[in-house]
Structure formats: structure tokens, C-alpha cells
Structure 1
């Protein structure tokens, strides 16, 4: 049995709100509950989403407001659902970090250690086109972000990350999971310890690293990209296609050269895997 309830944020100390979720269980099934609430996000505020144990999805919709859908799951019992809440509201600690405008925080809070061990929370945020999203993080789960504005930081300690169509520079960190980045304005850094990387890099604005310890790395480089490139692999080879770079002897394990007018360093690295460097199709 699933129950979908439209909730309103209740007042907390300061400007924050709280979305409280009740439990619902059907015999013979893993308990799951889904609730939705409309969020009162100030115009121009940069949204930050912080989860602990569960996925995060942020994408646009046709509506004018921001809608948060929260899905709680547990393996056997919904008895601890009430010990997990999702706090929402203005984030004074992050104000000023976004350059202009306030920050708005959506954060999962566990009331007990037992709830943290047994209850997962999926956060799905539907936002209007052009909404600024500054951060999406989770300790354990997949993160997907699409069609947002502003510079973005994405992190998952254990789970894959997909970022697409972001009008800003992105920083992506995954400890254990693949990373897929496309349609962004630029890249400030991409890293995973165990997983492949498939990324479009149209621009960089500082020394930038794209690397994994274990996995293949496929990078499409923008035609207008200015960078000093160094690509290396310890166990694997490097292939170059439609770029003014000479891989030298094959199998190549190190490729370096100047892209455009040069400038900032772009390091692309894998410890165990191959690297494919291609020109980004406009």
C-alpha cells in the first residue's frame, strides 16, 4: 500500500520548515511511503539538497513552484518512519556562498541511529526551468540532476552520479560509482574512486582534474577549450580522435599537448582503465 499525501511545511525555529512523514505498511511487502509538499523557495535562491541514505533526483517540470516528493523505505517495518524528517527552509549558514541571493536547504534528518541504519529516504525535487541548484549530496545513493542553472556541486559516497544540461560549472565527486556529465557550461572537477567517467568538458576556468582510480574515462573536449592537457593511465591505453593531439607510440599511456591558447591545466587520469579523448560535437 502506498499513500501519497500533500503536506505543508510547519514552522521551525527561524525560517526553516519541517516535512513530517507518517508510516504505512502492507502485509507481506516492504513498507514504503510517498509524500509531496510545495516548497516556498524565494525567487533567486540557490537550492541545496542534502540526503544521507537514499537517492536524490532534481529536474524541471512545467509548474511554477518547487515540489518535493519524499519516499521512505524500510526492509521490514515502518515503525521508525516517524524518526526521520526532511527539513526545508532558508539556510543562513550558506547565504553569501552563491554570489547573490539566499540559499534554500532541503535536508534529511535522522532522529535516531536505528532509523539511520534501517530507513532510506528518496528525495525528488521538481523545479521550474532556470531554478538555481547549488548542491546535491547523499552519503549512500544515486544522484541525478538535470536542467538547472548556476554552478553545482554533486557528491555521493556510494552511488552513481548523472548531471545533464546544467547552465553552470560543475564539481562532481563519487567515492564508489560511475559519473556521467553532459550539456554543462563547464567543469571544475570530476572524481570517482571506483567507476567509469563519461564527461563533456566544454570549458574550464582553473586547473581541473578528471580522474578515477578504477575505470575507463571518456572525455569529449570543447572546440573552444583553452587548456594544457595531460592524460595518463597506469594500466590501459589512450585513444585520441578528431583532436590536434599526438598519442605517440601505441599503446599510449601518456598524452599531453596544448588545446586552443593553453592556460589552465586539465589533467585526465585513470589508474586501471583506458582513456578516450574526442572532440565535443556542437
Structure 2
């Protein structure tokens, strides 16, 4: 589902970088000791051009993105661990032609922070969690990727892509959205009706609830195994069955794919 422009001449930094539609990037780390748990915070801020992306790639821990009225993207990563040292997990910042990617890189051979579907981020026998908070200016796209953690994008004014494995996804944006998880529900509210390519929402063990503008034009393909499909939007039905629904919203257009196994699918009018 993801659309990525090619990336040439990647620059990687653990705490800071400069160039390529960015200004005044900086980072700060503070160490806080507790009786049972140690924590360390990482902060980065910088300008990213409208239309470019801030991408966060985590492994263990939730990702939260909120809208800001400022011009800079601000990222805070909080690392906590009981058995393992949070310092073992590096926060890497990668500048590329499409924007900025920030990763939580665990100490395992072969791990590498790269944009989009590239790179590798895995963990074994490490209890450190990294939770990201991101402030996103209008027009800057947000992409969140995790393995064990929920993803929440609140009241954004840009396109959103969210991928996780074990965790729920909750998106509210005036732009377009796509989401995929395995163990978790998806709730999304999209304000944009003029899509230029197909979009999809997919889970296995979870429900899908999608809110769209009433004037949206799309071809709907919905599938569930153990659940129901319900719509409040005016839908021209092409094919319907106990586990599937194919139809057209408005005049039709790009495909809207909704798929789950164990829960229901709901389309709501905005």
C-alpha cells in the first residue's frame, strides 16, 4: 500500500543531521534513574517540507502523533527498561529525498535504519520499550511503523500510513489514511475524499471502523470471516454475501479495501 519515492545518498546520524529541506535539526538526551526502572529520553526537532514525510519506526512501544501549529516537527523518544539498559537502544535519524526517518535500533546484528519497507529492525531478549511522541505540522505526511505497540495519529492535517503487528491503530486526519495490523482494531476518520490511488485497512483479530466524507468516490471491497459488514454511507451494491461486500461510493474511483478475519467492518458518514 505504501508509496515511496526513491532515496539517494542517505545520511544517518544518531542524534543530529542537517540538509535536504531541513533546518536547525537538534537532539537532546537526559537520563532519569528509578528504583526499578531506568529511562532515557531523546529529542529531535527540525523543519520538513510540506508533502515530505516524517516516518517513525519502532519495535516495542506505542507511537503517538499529534498536530502542531508550528513549522517544526518535534520528536520525543522515551526509552525504558527494567532488566536491560535503555542506552543499548540507539535512536537513529535518517535524512532522505522524501523526508526524515527516525528508528529505534536494538543491539542485534544486521539491524539497519532505512526508509519505507527497507532496512531491518528486530529484537531478541531485550525488555527496553521505546515510546515516540511526534508533533506534526500541517502538510507533513506521517508514517508510523511498529511491531509490538499501538499507533495513534490525532487530528492531523496530512496523509497518514500506520503499520503494526500487535497493537490497535487510531487515526484522525483531514488527509488520506492507510492502516494495517494483525492483533488489534483499526479506527480511522479521513477528511479527504479525492484519493489519487487505492487505499486499504487490514487486520486479522480486530474490527475496522472507518469514517469518510459523504461525497467520497470510491470502489469498496470489504471482506470478513467472523463478523458483519455495515455502512451508513450511500453504497451502490455490486455483490454481497455473508462474508463480503463489493460496491460503489458516489461515482466510484480508487479502490477502498477493508479486510478482517475476526470482527466486524463499519463504514460511517463524517
* TM-score, normalised by the number of residues in structure 1: 0.67
How much does 1:74 deviate? 0.9
Corresponding residue of 2:90: 85
Q: Unaligned 5+ residue runs, structure 1?
A: 1-8, 186-201
Corresponding residue of 1:195: none
How much does 1:224 deviate? 2.0
Matched, 1:218 2:225: no
1:39 to 36, 45, 62: 45
How do 1:192-203 and structure 2 match up within 5 A?
202=193
Q: CA RMSD in A?
A: 3.7
How much does 1:207 deviate? 4.5
Preserved CA contact (<8 Å) 1:57 1:143: yes
The number of residues matched between the two structures is 240
How much does 1:132 deviate? 0.6
Q: Unaligned 5+ residue runs, structure 2?
A: 1-13, 110-122
Preserved CA contact (<8 Å) 2:178 2:201: no
Matched, 1:122 2:122: no
In the aligned structure 1, how far is the partner of 2:247 from the partner of 2:265? 15
How do 1:225-236 and structure 2 match up within 5 A?
225-236=216-227
* TM-score, normalised by the number of residues in structure 2: 0.69
Preserved CA contact (<8 Å) 2:217 2:250: yes
How do 1:181-260 and structure 2 match up within 5 A?
181-185=188-192, 202=193, 204-241=195-232, 243-245=234-236, 253-260=243-250
**Which structure exhibits the higher relative contact order, with contacts defined as CA atoms closer than 8 Å and separated by 6 or more residues?**
2
How much does 1:131 deviate? 4.7
Determine helix, strand or coil for the equivalent of 1:108.
strand
Determine helix, strand or coil for the equivalent of 1:118.
coil
How much does 1:20 deviate? 7.0
In the aligned structure 1, how far is the partner of 2:204 from the partner of 2:65? 28
Determine helix, strand or coil for the equivalent of 2:55.
strand
Corresponding residue of 1:3: none
Q: Which has the higher strand share?
A: 1
How much does 1:180 deviate? 1.4
Determine helix, strand or coil for the equivalent of 1:82.
helix
Matched, 1:136 2:144: yes
Corresponding residue of 1:60: 67
How much does 1:246 deviate? 6.6
How much does 1:160 deviate? 1.4
